[in-house]
Amino acid sequence: MDWIQNAWPWYVSGPMIALVMTLLLITGKSFGMSANLRVICAACGAGKKCDFFSFDWKVQRWNLMFAFGAILGGVLAVNFMNGAEGAEISAQTVADLKALGVASSGESLLPKEFFNLEFLLTWKGLVMLIGGGFMVGFGARYAGGCTSGHAISGLSNLQLPSLIAVIGFFIGGLIMTHLLMPLILG
Amino acid sequence: MKFKIGIRYILIGVLFGIVMTKSEAVSWFRIQEMFRFQSFHMYGIIGSALLTGIVITAVIKRFGIRDVYGETIKFHDKEKSISRYLIGGTIFGLGWALTGACPGPMFVLLGHGFLIMFIVILSAITGTFVYGLLRDKLPH
């Protein structure tokens, strides 16, 4: 059972993601994670303030269950499948991140120096965790989907809008990684 | 929704959470490595998911495969626009590189015990809400 404890190579993981998409299609749904954020807004009563959220969110409850399952999957993977082990990223990335003050490469899947309450209460932490989260939520809905909805579902269906969105994902990601992040973390 | 039907989505979600973890796609470091073009790993995941997905989607369409309810599986074409996908996508990308997590991994990482992800998810929900408020004023 070594394969459960080891990291999975990309050529196993990729088709497994396509399998998740297929299972959702076969059960009459479609794969797109950011829809959850809109469903949560609607469930919290945002529809009273704004038409965009006034829809019958109960029809979308399956999506919340899928997200709940994803959390459970995380629990199982970390506790029984060695999932907390850090990724063996390239030496060049380790060196680049060290120059930005990130020393914990390889120890965990997240840099522990950023993902904690103490860091959240600094201005860097506010920008990274609150600002970053905000842009993910705002941008995903503006673009009509996130990585799962556009890069996997939309591109699998050869949708040009999804290609444009994915190009946008990379424009934003490259600007942040190479121009803004050195300023924020520097 | 009946519990019996609901549980299948929980199980598919569990599979998703495990795949996201074991593939390391939930890793902030892997996302940084991807945007620095220093490894093939993330491109391999997305590329092989996409190739498999293209084949599966084509087969479903070609043979009119039905879902568990007996309905033919339909794919909805995305509405045409450039500005909304490019601007929205770029804003998403800025957040993606910063937090190292897209909406799926945010939930999975919560399961890893990173409770700080609650805050990130709450911010993402706020972002979605603010988009809803500003929607009519934004170029689409």
> Of A82, A65, A166, which is closest to residue B107 (Cα–Cα)?
A65
Question: Would you call A168 and B103 a contact, using CB atoms and an 8 Å cutoff?
Answer: no
Nearest residue in chain B measured CA to CA from A129: B120
- Chain B contact for A123, CB < 8 A? no
**What is the model's pLDDT at position A3?**
80
Give the whole-angstrom CA distance, residue B136 versus residue B140: 9
Query: pLDDT exceeding 90 applies to what percent of chain A?
Result: 88
Question: Would you call B128 and A70 a contact, using CB atoms and an 8 Å cutoff?
Answer: no
By Cβ distance, the residue of A93, A170, A172 closest to B33 is: A93
Nearest residue in chain A measured CA to CA from B84: A143
**What is the model's pLDDT at position A1?**
67
HEC states along chain B?
CCHHHHHHHHHHHHHHHHHHHHCCCCCHHHHHHHHCCCCCHHHHHHHHHHHHHHHHHHHHHHCCCECCCCCECCCCCCCCCCHHHHHHHHHHHHHHHHHCCCHHHHHHHHHCCCCCHHHHHHHHHHHHHHHHHHHHHCCC
Give the whole-angstrom CA distance, residue A15 versus residue B15: 13
ipTM score assigned to the predicted complex:
0.96
By Cβ distance, the residue of A106, A138, A171 closest to B130 is: A138
Q: What is the pTM of this model?
A: 0.96
**What is the model's pLDDT at position A85?**
87
Q: Tokens for A14?
A: 């990729």
By Cβ distance, the residue of B21, B56, B128 closest to A138 is: B128
Q: What phi-psi label fits residue A77: left (phi over 0), alpha (psi between -120 and 50 degrees) or beta?
A: alpha
Nearest residue in chain A measured CA to CA from B32: A177
Query: What 3-state class would DSSP assign to B45?
Result: helix
Those residues of chain B that have pLDDT short of 50 are none
Q: Average pLDDT, stretch A75-81?
A: 95
Q: Where are the beta strands (DSSP E) in B5-113?
A: none
What are the start-end ranges of the H helices in chain A?
2-5, 10-26, 35-43, 61-80, 91-99, 117-120, 123-125, 132-142, 155-156, 160-175, 181-185
Nearest residue in chain B measured CA to CA from A170: B93
Asked if the model's pLDDT at residue A149 lies above 80, the reply is yes
**What is the model's pLDDT at position A25?**
97
Give the whole-angstrom CA distance, residue B140 versus residue B131: 12
Question: Would you call A136 and B18 a contact, using CB atoms and an 8 Å cutoff?
Answer: no
By Cβ distance, the residue of B18, B103, B133 closest to A37 is: B103
- Chain B contact for A23, CB < 8 A? yes
* φ/ψ (deg, to 5) at A146: -115, -150
